[in-house]
Amino acid sequence: MTYVKFNPVGDFETMNNINDKIHRFFGELPNLGFEVSYPFKPKADFYGDDQNYYVELEVPGMKKDEIKISLKDKVLSVSGDKKDYSKGRKTNAILKSERNFGTFSRNFQLPDEINQENIEAFFEDGVLKITIAIAVKNTAGEKEIKIK
């Protein structure tokens, strides 16, 4: 008799494998005459160095005047409305549409040591780049002062 270890998930052992199988399964289903649309949520990177924090959002197909950036209580908010410009096409025979549209809002909790007066935003090639300066840290410890 051969011993076989019970494995209820079989070859679904990694998340990538699970995602591939789910996408493959749903991609093979026939179109039943209705479209499922997913809201637009731009992908973002948030990183920093010694002088600045950086937020970069992918917002392809948008114009800079369709995006609003605000800062309140150390929360950076980026919102906008990605328009579906395909609605004005002369044909309604869309065979497949994979693009997402609609309003979005992304919020980023910023660290305490930011300089709220020194925030810049640039928009280029569908990428919104926000630079937030780090404030000079106030050292609460003892400091020796030299006499001149």
Tokens of 145: 């002062």
The counts of H helices and E strands in the chain are: 1, 7
Could you say which residues of the chain have pLDDT below 70?
A: 1-38, 86-94, 137-148
> Would you state the pLDDT for residue 84?
78
CA–centroid distance for 58 within its chain: 7
pLDDT, residue 101, reads: 81
H or E element, residue 19: helix 15-27
Query: What is the reported pLDDT for 12?
Result: 46
Long-range contacts of 41-44 (CB under 8 A, 24+ apart): 41/100, 41/104, 41/106, 42/78, 42/104, 42/106, 42/128, 44/106, 44/108
pLDDT for 48: 93
Query: Residue 90: its pLDDT value, please?
Result: 67
Q: How far apart are CA 81 and CA 129, in angstroms?
A: 18
Helix (H) or strand (E) holding 54: strand 52-58
52 burial level (CB within 10 Å; 0-12, 13-18, 19+): middle
Second CATH level (architecture) for the domain 38-134: Sandwich (2.60)
